[in-house]
């Protein structure tokens, strides 16, 4: 059946057009936004509100538990999740989040998985419009077709996918716990580097490591396409490619030199690498000089606000001279080394969990594909 034909009382609609002037930080109606829509799960991230009087004036559609929410913009386009809350009249969505309220003839969970399946994702990719702002219209979403076995089989398939998804979500949570553990360990041993409660002496970054930027050699895109090898090629946020040569060999600390991540911190700005690799000119390369352990330095930089050392408005950059001026706490090197050893042990456990997550993702995606080919019925 077409997706639009699954709706109860015809409730398959776009979210509401809510402008800034309609919002109220003190309001009791929460706006569900694109950032809340995960690929099969509700993220619960947004923090914008409006008051009920305005919502009623705009004739907003209030969400019900198990409504299927569909993102009409990336990433990926068409990702869907179930709305999890059971509070009537408390939530509405913005215009780029579609709402599908399923009749009791069909299973909402099954339909959500179906929309996220490779079968429908391929259909969605062929219906996307736009250049800089890709999206799919509600009309085109509604025309997409989903296979529908009898309800009892829909529920069985959804239950299998639920179990596989629960396993991978549990593994993701374990990885997050390992990250929390290393952060707690750092704070316990050294305190917050900003407030410096343990009164460690601070010296400029130029004195705690050796800058190796002069050995960086960027590779042109045209050349990279001919160099698909085994050695990591690092940029400002991590590995950007694999090539068939290397310029660095050993243990180093890489620090982002440019990019929005210096300000918004969605990823770490510093990380250690050990082995043979290449670095472009978007990441500083520094080496141990006997003063500060590189793992300790990475954790300290990732917990420090460096905005005053970043230049630019749209194009953010932290050049070598500004990096060199950042004050760094210097607890005893023996303590830093102890921290690094404990982190290494935690990271070994985390690596095992990441391997398990890769297997769990593969299992889930395989089941998802089989489910909507009719192979799980």
Per-residue model confidence as pLDDT tens digits over 126-140: 999 988 889 999 999
Q: Is residue 354 part of a domain?
A: no
Decide if pLDDT at 153 tops 90.
Answer: yes
Give tens-digit pLDDT for 218-245.
Answer: 888 767 767 778 999 999 999 988 998 8
Mean pLDDT of 162-184: 96
Q: Is residue 167 part of a domain?
A: no
Q: Classify residue 60 by its DSSP letter.
A: P
Give tens-digit pLDDT for 78-105.
Answer: 999 999 999 989 999 999 999 999 999 9
Distances (CA, A) of 373 to 54, 114, 119, 123, 366: 45, 10, 8, 14, 11
Q: Is residue 142 part of a domain?
A: yes
The CATH number of whichever domain residue 140 belongs to comes to 3.90.220.20
In degrees and rounded to multiples of 5, residue 102 shows phi and psi of: -85, 140
Angle value at C-alpha 255, between 341 and 211, nearest 5 degrees = 90
Q: Is residue 343 part of a domain?
A: no
**pLDDT classification of 377: cutoffs 50, 70, 90:** low
Are 144 and 7 found together in one domain? yes
Output the pLDDT for position 335: 98
Are 213 and 316 found together in one domain? yes
Are 141 and 254 found together in one domain? no
Output the pLDDT for position 310: 96
**pLDDT classification of 342: cutoffs 50, 70, 90:** very high
Residues 279 and 234 sit within 8 Å (Cβ to Cβ)? yes
Answer with the one of 289, 314, 330 that is the final residue of a domain. 330
Are 40 and 109 found together in one domain? yes
Of 232, 338, 314, nearest to 275 by C-alpha is 232
**pLDDT classification of 326: cutoffs 50, 70, 90:** very high
Mean pLDDT of 110-138: 93
| Number of domains present in the structure of the chain | 2
Work out whether the CA dihedral 312, 316, 319, 323 comes out positive or negative. Answer: positive
Both structure tokens of 333? 């090197």
Output the pLDDT for position 296: 97
Decide if pLDDT at 315 tops 70.
Answer: yes
Decide if pLDDT at 313 tops 90.
Answer: no
Q: Is residue 174 part of a domain?
A: no
Output the pLDDT for position 132: 81
Give tens-digit pLDDT for 259-279.
Answer: 999 998 889 999 999 999 999
- List the beta strands (DSSP E) in 179-330: 202-204, 209-211, 231-234, 239-243, 248-256, 270-279, 283-288, 327-329
Mean pLDDT of 40-53: 95
Domain that holds residue 247: 201-330
Q: Is residue 239 part of a domain?
A: yes
Decide if pLDDT at 4 tops 90.
Answer: yes
Answer with the one of 330, 356, 371 that is the final residue of a domain. 330
In degrees and rounded to multiples of 5, residue 64 shows phi and psi of: -115, 155
Preceding amide of 76 cis, omega within 30:
yes
Are 56 and 136 found together in one domain? yes
Answer with the one of 330, 347, 371 that is the final residue of a domain. 330
Q: pTM (2 decimals)?
A: 0.81
User: % helix / strand / coil in the chain, to the nearest 5?
Assistant: 40, 20, 40
């Amino acid at each position: 059946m077409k997706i639009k034909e699954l709706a109860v009382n015809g409730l398959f609609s776009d979210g509401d057009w809510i402008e800034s002037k309609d919002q109220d930080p003190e309001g009791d109606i929460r706006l569900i936004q694109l950032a809340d829509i995960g690929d099969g799960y509700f993220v619960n991230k947004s923090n914008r509100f409006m008051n009920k009087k305005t919502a009623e004036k705009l004739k907003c559609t209030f969400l019900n538990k198990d409504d299927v929410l569909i993102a009409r913009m990336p990433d990926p386009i068409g990702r869907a999740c179930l709305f999890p809350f059971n509070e009537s009249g408390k939530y509405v969505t913005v215009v780029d989040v579609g709402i599908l309220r399923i009749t009791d003839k069909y299973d909402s969970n099954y339909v959500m998985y179906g929309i996220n399946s490779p079968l429908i994702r391929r259909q969605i990719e062929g219906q996307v419009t736009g250049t800089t702002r890709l999206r799919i219209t509600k009309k085109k979403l509604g025309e997409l077709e989903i296979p529908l076995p009898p309800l009892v089989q829909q529920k069985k398939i959804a239950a299998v996918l639920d179990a596989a998804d629960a396993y991978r979500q549990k593994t993701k949570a374990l990885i997050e716990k390992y990250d929390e553990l290393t952060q707690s360990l750092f704070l316990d041993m050294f305190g917050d580097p900003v407030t410096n409660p343990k009164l460690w002496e601070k010296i400029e970054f130029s004195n705690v490591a050796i800058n190796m930027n002069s050995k960086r050699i960027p590779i042109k895109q045209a050349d990279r396409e001919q160099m698909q090898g085994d050695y990591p090629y690092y940029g400002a946020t991590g590995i950007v490619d694999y090539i068939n040569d290397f310029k660095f060999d050993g243990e180093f600390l890489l620090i982002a030199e440019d990019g929005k991540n210096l300000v918004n911190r969605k990823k770490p700005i510093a990380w250690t690498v050990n082995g043979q690799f290449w670095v472009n000119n978007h990441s500083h390369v520094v080496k141990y000089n006997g003063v500060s352990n590189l793992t300790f330095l990475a954790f300290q930089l990732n917990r420090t606000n460096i905005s005053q050392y970043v230049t630019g408005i749209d194009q953010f950059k932290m050049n070598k001279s500004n990096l060199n001026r950042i004050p760094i706490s210097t607890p005893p090197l023996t303590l830093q080394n102890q921290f690094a050893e404990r982190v290494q042990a935690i990271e070994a456990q985390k690596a095992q969990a990441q391997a398990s997550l890769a297997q769990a993702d593969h299992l889930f995606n395989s089941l998802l594909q089989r489910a909507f080919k009719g192979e799980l019925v």
